[in-house]
Amino acid sequence: MRRSYFIFILVLLITISTNVFAACGDINQVSVDVGTIKKDGKNYIIYVPVGAKSVNISASASGDWVKGYGPRTLSTGNVTKLMVDGSTCGGGTYTYQISFQQTDEVIAANTTTTAENTASTQSASTESNNGTASTKNEIFLSSLKIEGYEIKFDKNVDLYTIKVKNDVKRVDIEAVAEDKTAKVDISDNAKALEEGENKILINLVNSENKKGQYIIVVDREKTLDDNAYLADIKIDGHLLTFDRDTTEYNLEIGNETALNIVPVTESKKAEATVKGNEDLTDGSKITITVKAEDGTKRDYVINISKKFNIFDYWIYPAIGGLIFLLLILLIIRKRRKKKKAKKEKKSSEKETKTKKDSEKSAESDSEVFKL
């Protein structure tokens, strides 16, 4: 009996502690302003319309958010994380991975699905075209058409996205309201598309002042910049008379083996590379290649010739002069030593002779004395 009671208490404590720690790092009430959320354990996949750049995510957590990893605006081009600090409730750091997948299917806003029911949610979404389920409209459209483009219209979907070529400057939209008394107004930018995303608003208002709004995002293909011209070529210590249409130049230099060249492109989207600017000799060619955003290339060539300038070679005569001076000093020193040695030798010989004469005189005096 006691053993059974003990086991029951132990199981109860384990269950309670497990639930407490599980809840400690949990996140819930996850929602986004556009997209469908699929949850699989601690991984979330957010399905967003093609062309969506960012998503605002909201959530609550059983603990504090790690700084910088809480609910925020997320870029759809990156895999990111939500992180919960569970230290306040006895746990560790809990990490949830967020990834994105773009789809042409309708995406309902603020929808969270699990791994088990994702398939049914997605299959239902295919019944309409890119969009977000309407949550604010009081009145609705009965039909929506874009000339030359097929969309799967659903009156409960208020966001649609289409892509058009760069040569398409306008789109013709036909929108019919369910309420015959409603006025339908389409924003003017439908007739003057800019490159990139254009948000076209379709506003509805009826006689009772009830309102509705649909949005069509038209993504017009951008034109790539084809400007492969230079605006200037700057070379330290040299002046080059530059003209954008002149692609070949002659430059006379001294004894430099390389130049500090700064090519300046007309377009900020273009890139310039310099080749041949090393071990420069007479006849060297330096090539500056400009590559535009669309791949267009233009080469600028600088022909190098070298001129003799004594000031470029001053070090050599300076060294020669120094060596010559040292040689003269050595010769002078050697001569002085030789002259000194000769003088010392002569002096020594004189002293020796004087000494011999003194000794001979002393011997003579000694003989006289003996006599």
Q: Quick one: which of 217, 188, 165 has its CA closest to 34?
A: 217
pLDDT (0 to 100) of residue 6 = 52
Q: How far is CA 136 from CA 29, 34, 47, 345, in A?
A: 20, 14, 22, 125
Structure tokens of 140?
Answer: 């609705």
With H, G, I as helix, E, B as strand and everything else as coil, classify residue 193: coil
Q: Tell me whether residue 122 is exposed, middle or buried, using C-beta atoms within 10 angstroms of its C-beta: 0 to 12, 13 to 18, 19 or more.
A: middle
pLDDT (0 to 100) of residue 200 = 95
pLDDT (0 to 100) of residue 277 = 94
Q: Tell me whether residue 52 is exposed, middle or buried, using C-beta atoms within 10 angstroms of its C-beta: 0 to 12, 13 to 18, 19 or more.
A: buried
Q: Are 289 and 270 spatial neighbours (Cβ–Cβ below 8 Å)?
A: no
Q: Could you tell me the mean pLDDT of each successive run of 10 residues in the chain, 371 residues long? A: 54 48 67 80 78 80 77 78 72 76 55 36 34 71 94 93 94 95 94 94 94 95 92 94 95 92 94 95 95 94 84 67 87 85 78 73 62 52
- HSE-CB of 353 using CA atoms within 13 angstroms: 6
Architecture of domain 2-114: Sandwich (2.60)
Question: DSSP alpha helices (H): ranges in 97-186?
Answer: 118-125
Distance, CA of 65 to CA of 30 (rounded, Å): 14
Write out the residue limits of the CATH 2.60.40.2340 domain(s) in the chain.
2-114
CATH number of 230-311: 2.60.40
CATH fold for the domain made of 141-220:
Immunoglobulin-like (2.60.40)
pLDDT (0 to 100) of residue 161 = 95
pLDDT (0 to 100) of residue 101 = 74
